[in-house]
Amino acid sequence: MQTSFTAEQLEQPRIAEANTILRKCVHCGFCTATCPTYVLLGDELDSPRGRIYLIKNMLETGGPATAETVKHIDRCLSCLSCMTTCPSGVNYMHLVDEARAHVEETYSRPLFDRALRAVLAYAMPRPRLFRLALIAARMARPLRPVVQSFGATRIDALLGLVPSSLPTPERFGRPGTYPAAGERKGRVALLMGCVQSVLDPGINAATIRLLTRLGIEVVVSGEEACCGSLTHHMGKESDALARARRSVDQWTAAGVDAVVITASGCGTTIKDYGHMLRLDPAYAERAAAVSAKAKDVTEFLASLDLPDGQTSLRLAYHSACSMQHGQKIRTEPLKLLRKAGFTVAEVPEGHLCCGSAGTYNILQPDIATRLRDRKVANIMSTAPQAVATGNIGCISQISTGTDIPVVHTVELLDWAYGGPIPEKLKPICGNH
């Protein structure tokens, strides 16, 4: 793609990087076939190629983003399916990140939009506050018919995502060091996360149980909480980078072999810390080292020698976009589940997003719901007893569209190798 940035513009690191990315695009359109929003809406501007043109024009002019440009950038899920498809190696992830930062800096959103985004960006990365917010939202759920009558689709979507009850915090996952059972074979840090630690703390508990049984010492700092992913994808760069720096400080000081992550959306961001902090001389080297040590829990488990299991359960495996497209982890979870004894079916149209995408299912509820329903229909076609996936956002999103239990992969593996049965499976498997 031909660009026309001025020499002065190209002196800016953000513009220089965008220019390099843009010039790799050859307009082939392969990305359109795998883009969820284009598949649903059929609008060129809601495809990666269309958004690339919009971003190019926005950055070249250097002025405030227009409402039309913002509309189509906001509709992007950041699923990164386009990057898997692209034959030219266009780094769409970094390009849309730069675009969102520009939008955040230059565009004045409508008051309600601005307020909602501010509340989400402030509350969700703070587990205690997020828990309180969910309790308040649960109390407000009886008002959904009133909300719907006013056409407040975003508030309705938010209330619809609130679980009927919140799990009590697990003793596993509190700050500290969890020793390996028997001979220590490694030492890792575990990201507890913000949303996950509130919505489903059992995931972190299962991870600690499984890893320690396998001889891995687990360190929980308790200080990093949010990795910065949520605000990063909202274009709030100063907040995201501050959270990234705090995480780098914590994990560097911990002296670990790996940083284990159980939420694939967080993993994609943490593996990008080296890029995000490349211009910060105080953090660039350490951030790159942390990114190099970051491992999804299935990626880490695949490096260990696990025995064959005999668990009998038919699963549909949903590969989160951040897992398969963001981190390029595609076979490890399937191999681990099958080795543990599960019968695992791959979901048709597995490359398409479920519609969660961080705060997307709140900010773009209509598109998110259509994607969820499409995903659930594809899952149901495999006739599973349960769904396995590796991202809390996907678990929450898919669970609103089906009664079939949606369980994290590591919970299933913990159960298969001596841990307790996941709570969600007790209705179909009993206590065994």
How many Cβ atoms from other residues are within 10 Å of residue 74's Cβ? 16
Q: Are residues 101 and 120 in the same domain?
A: no
In a domain? residue 322: yes
In a domain? residue 292: yes
* 27 dihedral zone (left: phi>0; alpha: psi -120 to 50; beta): left
pLDDT tens for each residue of 23-45: 999 999 999 999 999 999 999 99
CATH code of the domain covering residue 60: 1.10.1060.10
The pLDDT of residue 431: 61
Q: Are residues 277 and 328 in the same domain?
A: no
Task: Cite the DSSP H helix spans in 11-79.
Answer: 13-22, 36-41, 48-61, 67-74
Q: Are residues 197 and 274 in the same domain?
A: yes
Q: Are residues 321 and 404 in the same domain?
A: yes
Q: Are residues 291 and 340 in the same domain?
A: no
Q: Are residues 202 and 296 in the same domain?
A: yes
Mean per-residue pLDDT of the chain: 93
Q: Are residues 345 and 268 in the same domain?
A: no
In a domain? residue 410: yes
3-state secondary structure of 132: helix
Give the structural domain span for 405: 314-429
Indicate the helix (H) or strand (E) that contains 283.
none
3-state secondary structure of 316: strand
In a domain? residue 169: no
Secondary structure string (H, E, C) spanning 72-116: HHHCCCCCCHHHHHCCCCCCHHHHHHHHHHHHHHHCCCCHHHHHH
Q: Are residues 252 and 149 in the same domain?
A: no
Q: Are residues 55 and 86 in the same domain?
A: yes
List b or e across 212-242, with b for residues whose CB sees 16 or more CB atoms inside 10 angstroms: bebebbbbbbeebbbbbbbbbbbbbbebbbe
Between the alpha carbon of residue 361 and those of residues 28, 94, 354, 368, 372, the distances in Å are 30, 22, 9, 5, 9
Last residue of a domain, one of 243, 269, 301: 301
Q: Are residues 327 and 296 in the same domain?
A: no
Closest-CA residue to 359 (of 424, 265, 293): 265
pLDDT tens for each residue of 310-341: 788 999 999 999 999 999 999 999 999 999 99
Count structural domains, the chain. 4
pLDDT tens for each residue of 346-374: 999 999 999 999 999 999 999 999 999 99
pLDDT tens for each residue of 159-202: 888 888 888 877 766 788 999 998 999 999 999 989 999 999 99
Q: Are residues 186 and 257 in the same domain?
A: yes
* 225 dihedral zone (left: phi>0; alpha: psi -120 to 50; beta): left
pLDDT tens for each residue of 103-146: 999 999 999 999 999 999 999 999 889 999 999 888 888 888 88
CATH code of the domain covering residue 270: 1.20.1050
Q: Are residues 278 and 355 in the same domain?
A: no
For residue 261, what are its two tokens? Answer: 């992550």
In a domain? residue 170: no
- The C-alpha R_g of the chain, in whole angstroms, comes to 21
| Cβ proximity of 372 and 398 under 8 Å | yes
In a domain? residue 196: yes
Last residue of a domain, one of 269, 301, 333: 301
The pLDDT of residue 223: 63
3-state secondary structure of 347: coil
In a domain? residue 74: yes
For residue 328, what are its two tokens? Answer: 């390029």
In a domain? residue 247: yes
